[in-house]
Amino acid sequence: MLLHVHPDDPQPRHIKTIVECLRDGGVIVYPTDTIYGLGCDIFQHKAVERICRIKQIDIRKANLSFICYDLSDLSKYTKSTTTPLYRLLKSYLPGPYTFILPASKEVPKILQSKKNTVGLRVPDNNIARSIIRELDHPILSASLPGDMVEDYTDPELIYENFEKLVDIVVDGGIGGMIPSTIVDCTQEPYELVRQGLGKFEE
Give per-residue pLDDT as tens, 154-172. Answer: 999 999 999 999 999 999 9
Burial class (CB in 10 A: 0-12, 13-18, 19+), 96: buried
Cα–Cα distance, 164 to 53 (Å, whole number): 13
Domains of the chain: 2-194 (3.90.870.10)
pLDDT higher than threshold 80 for residue 61: no
Separation CA 140–CA 38 (nearest Å)? 8
Predicted pLDDT of residue 64: 80
- Average pLDDT over the chain reads 92
Give the number of other Cβ atoms within 10 Å of residue 186's Cβ. 16
* Residue range 74-92, pLDDT digits in tens: 888 998 778 899 999 999 9
